[in-house]
Amino acid sequence: MANRVLIISPSADDVRLLEHALKQAHDGPFDVESVCALADGLERIRQGGIDAILADLALPDARGLACFDRLHDAAPHTAILTLCELENEDEAKEAVRRGAQGWLSKGYFDNYLVPQSLRNIINRLKVEQGLYVAQARAEITLNSIGDAVVSADMDGRVDYLNVAAERISGWTREQAAGRPVAEILNIVDGATGRALPNPIAVALEGNRPLGFAGEAILVGRDGRRIPIEDSAAPIHDWDGRAVGAVMVFRDISHSVALTSKMRHQAQHDFLTGLPNRMLLNDRIAHAVAQARRDGFHPALLFLDLDKFKHINDSLGHAVGDQLLQAVSERLVKCVRASDTVSRHGGDEFVILLADERRPQDAALTADKILLALSAPFLIGGQELHTSTSIGVSVFPLDGMESATLIKNADTAMYHAKERGRGNYQFFHQEMNTRAVERQLVESSLRRALERSEFRLHYQPKVELATGRITGVEALLRWEHPEWGLVQPDRFIAVAEECGLIIPIGRWVLHEACTQAVRWRRAGLPAVSIAVNVSALEFRHREFFAHALAILGATGVDPACLQLELTESVLMRDVTASADLLGRFKALGVEIAVDDFGTGYSSLSYLNQFPIDVLKIDKSFVRAIDASAGSNGAIVSAVIGMGKTLHHRVVAEGVEDQAQLAFLKANDCNEAQGYWFSRPVDAAAMGAILDAGVVA
């Protein structure tokens, strides 16, 4: 498109000359318009589209520099050349100072150079305008991006900072200009804190770009440490020579924070915020490595809340969760900052005591924890009581690495539970042997009933005054195809733990009642038959109903049945126990308290139960001859007590003449023990009953 020129001149001759010259331009004619007065010129400029103005400064409505100024104000970015008389060149020069691009001297208008220089002027202005736009665009872009941009010259002196760079570094462009870039951007290694070479310097030195590098920290002007990610590249001129370098970097605090938050989440339990297994394993590995060098004994405490499941089931998960949180808080207070309290899942916690010097030190912490958790928790307006069982394993005795240490602490914790909860146990190697055996017993026990491997043996009870057999106690035996005859000590506890005691107990009761009926039918004298009832059976909802059904099915006289229960079973829920015993009593069934003296039941409670027989535990009987004095005194005291409560007293485990004599002298009613007979099978017992006395 042709350039459009506006001529403002009152002289028709001048206009004609200029038009003539401009139309001759060898690279194409100009479009030329002309007006005679400034007002018309201004009006035309306002309409736009003018690339250059040729103005005479002697116009009818304006003159001289004032005239120029008004034109320049109206078209600041348009080329203006004045048309002047030779003697007026001073005015023309002054106009150039005020923004004119040049002047044309009157008398030289037809010079062939006029169109060419006008074209040059117009083009130069256009390039300048383009540059201005490009620069403005770059400036705006650089200031609106989040990345910081800093550039420096060949000497590494800062010549540019964008807004983001100003914000992150704390330096303004003006302050930074000319200073060494390393002074403005103090970059250190995130891990070591040591100063890193400035990327701009590196890019200049190597004359090649540097990719993004992580882990760098920019120390801001105010000392703030900002993790950054940066890259740098040299800047080259037209000839490919480096003239400086530019560095781009961004504040990655946010993503660093996010990463560390994610790492935290991956390593911690969401409910309690405690480290999880993963982090615990790390810490154990670390503690173990340390301990190998300094000879310490890191210990693991494996904790399990007693009865947590019950709380969770009866009061709801929300309460359970709050309890776990409250427990965590107390646990953390029991240990040092260098120790790790972790949640292992559910109601299990594992604590790593990292720098114990002596293996026993763990006991102190365990004691502290037991005490801390024994105080009631106030949750949702109600008081909750819990206790914990703790197993302890110590490096290196109980394991050299995390998995073994945890496993063994866990095993020890189970032993603590067996010991009646609310205590701690150190791991012993034989616990593992027992754990293996227990597993073995449990799995074969599951098949024992269907394979009819159970037997009952019977042991007689003898009335001391007459020598008459008053009854027999049914004692369970397990005839294992490989192990032979297994004594109840080896399997009753396991059966209780896995619930198998319920069907087994039912079998025992049925078998004992059936045997009583068989002997009766065989014409043998009626004896009472005592059956041991474990805690789980006694608490079982259907226990009474099943017993009733068995009595009915076997046709045994209920008066011939005696149930043996330990004190602790009865004391667990006194009201329920009394109620159940009452129902059995109503049928005529007799009740015996087994292992009497080993529990700590109060007599006033025992008094509430309809008890017929007290069986003095064999440990007291054994003590009779060990020292003729004080221990025998316990037996006589218990015998006395039984008499006061109007119960029959039976001494268990009588093995020798001396014990027998003592018991007789103290008016004990009955006795049972190897002295009279070991437990024997039904046939042998039948023979004894037939004889009427023991040998």
Rounded CA separation 202/192 (Å): 20
Which residue, 283 or 615, is less far from Ca ion as judged by CB?
Answer: 615
Partners of 485 in the β-ladder: 479
Site for ligand C2E in 512-551 (CB under 6 A): 532-534
649: which 2 tokens?
């007293």
Binding piece for ligand C2E, criterion CB under 6 A, among 240-248, 486-494, 517-525, 583-591: 486-494
> Residue 129, exposed/middle/buried by CB under 10 A (0-12, 13-18, 19+)?
exposed
99 CB contacts (<8 Å, ≥6 apart)?
72, 76, 80
- Contact call for residue 489 and ligand C2E (CB under 6 A): yes
567 binds, among Ca ion, ligand C2E, none (CB under 5 to 8 A by kind): none
The whole-angstrom distance between residue 547's C-alpha and the CA centroid of its chain comes to 50
| Residue selected from 101, 276, 328, 532 as contacting Ca ion according to rule CB under 5 A | 532
Cβ atoms 351, 424 nearer than 8 A: no
669 binds ligand C2E (CB under 6 A): no
Q: How far is the CB of 620 from Ca ion (least distance, A)?
A: 11
Under rule CB under 5 A, residue 166 binds Ca ion: no
**Distance in angstroms (rounded) separating the CA atoms of residues 56 and 51:** 17
Q: Is 486 in the site for ligand C2E (CB under 6 A)?
A: no
Residue 335 vs 530, nearer CB to Ca ion = 530
- Per CB under 5 A, which region of 430-438, 491-499, 556-564, 684-692 contacts Ca ion? 556-564
Among 674, 681, 687, 690, indicate the residue that binds ligand C2E (CB under 6 A): 674
At residue 651, φ and ψ (nearest 5 deg) are: -95, 130
Q: Which is closer to Ca ion, CB of 304 or CB of 652?
A: 652
Which residue stretch of 62-70, 168-176, 302-310, 526-534 sits at the interface with Ca ion (rule: CB under 5 A)? 526-534
Asked whether 305 and 417 are in contact (CB, 8 A), the reply is no
459 forms part of the interface with ligand C2E (CB under 6 A): yes
Nearer to Ca ion, 408 or 562 (CB): 562
Residue 594 in the binding site for ligand C2E (CB under 6 A)? yes
Cis peptide upstream of residue 396 (ω within 30 degrees of 0): yes
Residue 594 binds Ca ion, judged by CB under 5 A: yes
**Residue 535 CB contacts under 8 Å (≥ 6 apart), including other chains:** 496, 566, 568, 569, 572
Of 55, 279, 350, 476, the one binding ligand C2E (CB under 6 A) is 476
Of 171-179, 288-296, 484-492, 579-587: span binding ligand C2E (CB under 6 A): 484-492
Considering only 256-264, 285-293, 343-351, 647-655, which stretch makes contact with ligand C2E by CB under 6 A? 647-655
Report if residue 618 touches ligand C2E, rule: CB under 6 A. yes
Cβ atoms of 53 and 74 within 8 Å: the answer is no
Whichever of 423 and 598 has its CB closer to Ca ion, that residue is 598
Structure-token pair, residue 472: 């027999």
223 and 233 Cβ atoms separated by less than 8 Å: no
Query: Quick one: tokens of 365?
Result: 């912490």
The secondary structure of 37-71 as a DSSP string is: SHHHHHHHHHH----EEEEESEETTEEHHHHHHHH
Give the one residue of 334, 475, 529, 689 binding ligand C2E; rule: CB under 6 A. Answer: 475
Q: Which is nearer to ligand C2E, 347 or 670 (CB)?
A: 670
Q: Which is nearer to Ca ion, 36 or 616 (CB)?
A: 616
Q: Which residues pair with 232 in a beta bridge?
A: 210, 247
Please calculate the CA angle 154-159-162 and round it to the nearest 5 degrees: 130
Q: Which is nearer to ligand C2E, 245 or 441 (CB)?
A: 441
CB of 531 to Ca ion, least distance (A): 9
Position 673 contacts ligand C2E (CB under 6 A)? yes
Contacts within 8 Å (CB) and 24+ apart, 429-434? 432/408
Rounded to an integer, what distance in angstroms lies between the CA atom of residue 102 and that of residue 96?
6
Q: Does 510 contact ligand C2E by CB under 6 A?
A: no
Contact footprint for Ca ion (CB under 5 A): 532, 564, 594-595, 652
Q: Which positions lie near ligand C2E, rule CB under 6 A? A: 459, 475-476, 487-489, 492, 505, 508, 532-534, 564, 594-595, 618, 653-655, 673-674, 679
